[in-house]
Chain A
């Protein structure tokens, strides 16, 4: 797999702008995908999920897009707020393996 290195990919956005966080997943047979938000000193928190039979799912201020052709997942956050600053992880179910595998993570920093 790709080497992560010591630094998380970082996305800096101005407060009020929209954010797009991307994730490339590994298993083409994965059926279920989740986005988690992890704030400093806390455990991951569920944001939104999507099944492989869907291309798009919307929540409150968040939208997840799934492109199975290129194994790509994205999380869109509308009107980003300072409280959205965190590390965001995508996770996949690995084709019914009964365990979640997390992607590498992206650190979102919101500039007030």
Chain B
């Protein structure tokens, strides 16, 4: 298995909702990443997990809460989002944080209404 799988592919949520994005990989990668991508812009790093521990948080608002339950799974919990948080959320993984051969998932297209 050489893929990163993200679910759901599309999500519409209200500003008072709580939802979670999920990411899964079975390549034995020990680094996992969350990126946010707005339309016509490059991906922007949000969080980095290394060996299931959060190693980088790029000053992301607390309404985004990452979780890494095990080496194969990465979640992003969403609460009280704003319409400007609407974007494509991409998950990626690599062997470790010193290896830049990232494998990206197809992303979750999030719309906040």
CB contact list, B53-101 vs A, under 8 A: 55-56, 90, 92, 97-98, 100-101
Q: Is the CB of A42 within 8 A of B45?
A: no
Residue A4, interface by CB 8 Å: yes
Q: Please, which residue of chain A has its CB at the minimum distance from the CB of B91?
A: A43
Quick check: B55 and A98 within 8 Å, CB to CB? yes
With A and B bound together, what is the CA distance between A32 and B94 in angstroms? 15
Contact of A98 with B97 at beta-carbon distance under 8 Å, contacts A4-B41, A43-B90, A105-B42 already known: yes
Distance from A104 Cβ to chain B, minimum over Cβ atoms (Å): 6
- How many pairs of residues, A versus B, come closer than 8 Å at their CB atoms? 55
| Bound form: Cα–Cα A100–B55 in Å | 14
Q: A7-B40, A93-B100, A103-B42 are in contact. Are A98 and B48 (CB under 8 A)?
A: yes
Given A41-B106, A43-B104, do A99 and B41 touch, yes or no (CB 8 Å)?
A: no
Within the complex, what minimum Cβ distance (angstroms) separates B25 from chain A?
12
Q: Nearest Cβ in chain B — how far from A50, in angstroms? A: 11
Total chain A interface residues with beta-carbon distance under 8 A: 25
- Interfacial chain B residues near A101, Cβ < 8 Å: 45
Which residues does chain B contribute within 8 Å of A93, judged by CB atoms? 100
**Given contacts A43-B92, A43-B107, are A100 and B56 in contact (CB under 8 A)?**
no
Most B-side CB within 10 Å, residue of A34, A41, A43, A91: A43
A45 to B103: give the CA distance in the assembly, Å.
7
B-side contacts of A43, CB under 8 Å: 4, 90, 92, 104-107
Cβ of B96 to closest chain A Cβ, rounded Å: 9
A99 touches B45 (CB 8 A): yes
* A89 touches B (CB below 8 Å): yes
With a cutoff of 8 Å between Cβ atoms, the chain A residues found around residue B100 in the complex are 32, 34, 49, 91, 93, 100
- List residues of A whose CB falls within 8 A of some B CB: 4, 6-8, 32, 34, 36, 41-46, 49, 89, 91, 93, 98-105
**New A-B contacts (5) at CB < 8 Å, excluding given A99-B48, A102-B43, A105-B41:** A4-B40, A44-B102, A46-B103, A89-B43, A99-B56
Binding site for A on B (CB under 8 A): 4, 33, 40-45, 48, 55-56, 90, 92, 97-98, 100-107
